[in-house]
Structure 1
């Protein structure tokens, strides 16, 4: 019965795609549903000119416009991102209701394996090229600018406030081992968050932000194995640019590093060095810029994510997951502060 319902739903979505695709000059041979059941829908469209991707973007229109034009800018510069195919009317997208639909070249390839040093190195080089190639992107008149430049301090403060407010929810579940541990230990991590804010404000962060505002770079914001491919052409391709925004490039590095090292329970200095060295082989960073990256790494992001899952998303996490997150945050705090002390 369930399979019949899913089959019928898939058929409807493929039919909808066939109607939408009439806005593009394509000779369609077959349409395959790749991703459904959520707001972002993806179809693989087989044409006489190779496979294409039809996507319904799961973002508010203002942010979607920023990312669509950013991807077009990168592709036109020769960046390794999928090229956007224009409609018959010469537009980059077609709007139906509140949603924007875009057609891209379909990239055939295989995902990288972050446990393989060569793969990790190649991914970081590709990220560095992405940042470099994004310089010069200026949204067209009428396209809202999506920027996080200068907003880190507010983000730190908001997360510290959330960690504090979730103590009230933990007290309401005082018999729950997760909440018991949270109440017993969270204050020290809130203080670490506040110290991170203090360190950031006393770094070159604000000066770098002002420099970047003159010629900003794009951050992917969701960079990882799910959004990179080793193409059949031998090149590394970056896909799913829906979340791009102007920001300091090291924010993408931090988002890669922090969760990647949160697995073995042992600080992996060699992997950290490989990430940074690979990135810098393409896009060198100054010591001051790397200092800002290390400061950003200090914030208890992984712990915040666990608490968010528990108290906002209502995921019934076991206490062991909180304990592991706290242990990692403590280890990260000590190891990263060692690196910062060497630079002062």
Structure 2
């Protein structure tokens, strides 16, 4: 009886999917459900116009329209991103109530690797091209913007307050709580860096860059990860765009640089310099704007983020050993980052070739 009910549900889902596909200018053939996570479903659709991906996301339709509009804007400017397929009526996405469908061309290619220096440099140039191409975006009517610009101070303050609260939890923890024992050894140094970074947000460069970014219409990818990209024709290519936010380009740079260095378990000063140079060659930033990036790299985002997960027990599948492994990795990265932070002005002068 259970097997029969499951069969009927699969058949109904397939019929519903065919109904969705009728809204797109393609003739569908074989349909394959792909593994996915995070409240999304994704299908590979073989069509008369080539293979397509159909993605379902549970998201506010107005928010998705903001993201889809950005995707279309990049696509129209010739940016290397999978083509978004509009509906027969010209819609960028298809609303199904509290969820949304999007169709894009399916592209094949090798995944971009965090340990391949050449691919890291190409990715940094790709981020520069992404930011450059995003300039001038005007969200379509009816869409809802996501923005973090102008909210950095509040975010820093909230993370500092949470870090202080987690320090109290760590000090009150059982002596056998190895994570808390190691966490508290390094928390004072991270707290000091966080407070220094908060003060640095008062610098004129931060206000100037915030105003310039808001006026330009520029957006960030929000969580720049190589998992969203492939190598196609020996160049980096974005296979999907799940989210964007209006924010300073420094956000994308900080997130990817932290990700790369976490993979290496150490902050490689020379690699960091080469990464920034690769970005600046495509999308040059004012020298003083790099000081804002310095501030964001100084703030202990990784340390705070892991403590947040641990003390709120967000990762139910993680055991104590896994948490401890990640904490040791982050401490190694943050400690080795100190030399980079101290030499930052000199490194940026080299990036800019002595030009301010």
RMSD of aligned residue pairs (Cα, Å): 2.7
Aligned to 1:185: 186
Aligned to 2:352: none
Separation in structure 2 between the aligned mates of residue 111 and residue 7 of structure 1, nearest angstrom: 35
Aligned to 1:108: 108
- Check whether the contact 1:57–1:100 (CA below 8 A) recurs between aligned residues: yes
Q: Normalised by the size of structure 1, how large is the TM-score?
A: 0.90
- For structure 2, list consecutive stretches of 5 or more residues without a partner in the other structure: 350-356
Separation in structure 2 between the aligned mates of residue 182 and residue 10 of structure 1, nearest angstrom: 48
Secondary structure in structure 1 of the residue aligned to 2:31: strand
Secondary structure in structure 1 of the residue aligned to 2:343: helix
Aligned to 2:40: 40
Aligned to 1:126: 126
Deviates more, 1:330-339 or 1:93-102: 330-339
Separation in structure 2 between the aligned mates of residue 286 and residue 36 of structure 1, nearest angstrom: 40
- Please state how far the C-alpha of 1:205 moved relative to its aligned partner: 0.6
Secondary structure in structure 2 of the residue aligned to 1:331: helix
Give deviations 1:68-118, integer Å, cap 9, x for gaps: 111011112211122221212221111113001111111222212222222
Separation in structure 1 between the aligned mates of residue 188 and residue 11 of structure 2, nearest angstrom: 52
- Check whether the contact 1:123–1:236 (CA below 8 A) recurs between aligned residues: yes
- Please state how far the C-alpha of 1:203 moved relative to its aligned partner: 4.9
Structure 1 residues 249 and 343: CA distance shift in structure 2, 3 A: closer
Structure 1 residues 164 and 8: CA distance shift in structure 2, 3 A: farther
Structure 1 residues 292 and 15: CA distance shift in structure 2, 3 A: same
User: Does residue 322 in structure 1 map to residue 323 in structure 2?
Assistant: no
Aligned to 1:165: 165
Aligned to 1:52: 52
Deviates more, 1:115-124 or 1:183-192: 183-192
- Please state how far the C-alpha of 1:239 moved relative to its aligned partner: 3.0
- Check whether the contact 1:10–1:33 (CA below 8 A) recurs between aligned residues: no
- For structure 1, list consecutive stretches of 5 or more residues without a partner in the other structure: none
User: Does residue 92 in structure 1 map to residue 97 in structure 2?
Assistant: no
- Check whether the contact 1:28–1:45 (CA below 8 A) recurs between aligned residues: yes
- Report how many residues are paired: 342
Aligned to 2:257: 257
Structure 1 residues 211 and 287: CA distance shift in structure 2, 3 A: same
- Check whether the contact 2:62–2:144 (CA below 8 A) recurs between aligned residues: yes
Q: Normalised by the size of structure 2, how large is the TM-score?
A: 0.87
> Which structure 2 residues correspond to residues 191-202 of structure 1 after superposition, within 5 A?
191-202=192-203
Structure 1 residues 13 and 128: CA distance shift in structure 2, 3 A: farther
- Check whether the contact 1:23–1:88 (CA below 8 A) recurs between aligned residues: yes
- Check whether the contact 2:29–2:46 (CA below 8 A) recurs between aligned residues: yes
Aligned to 1:80: 80
Secondary structure in structure 1 of the residue aligned to 2:46: strand
Structure 1 residues 71 and 191: CA distance shift in structure 2, 3 A: same
- Check whether the contact 2:112–2:119 (CA below 8 A) recurs between aligned residues: yes
Separation in structure 2 between the aligned mates of residue 4 and residue 163 of structure 1, nearest angstrom: 52
Separation in structure 2 between the aligned mates of residue 32 and residue 213 of structure 1, nearest angstrom: 41
Deviates more, 1:50-59 or 1:161-170: 161-170
Secondary structure in structure 1 of the residue aligned to 2:310: helix
- Please state how far the C-alpha of 1:341 moved relative to its aligned partner: 7.4
- Please state how far the C-alpha of 1:237 moved relative to its aligned partner: 1.6
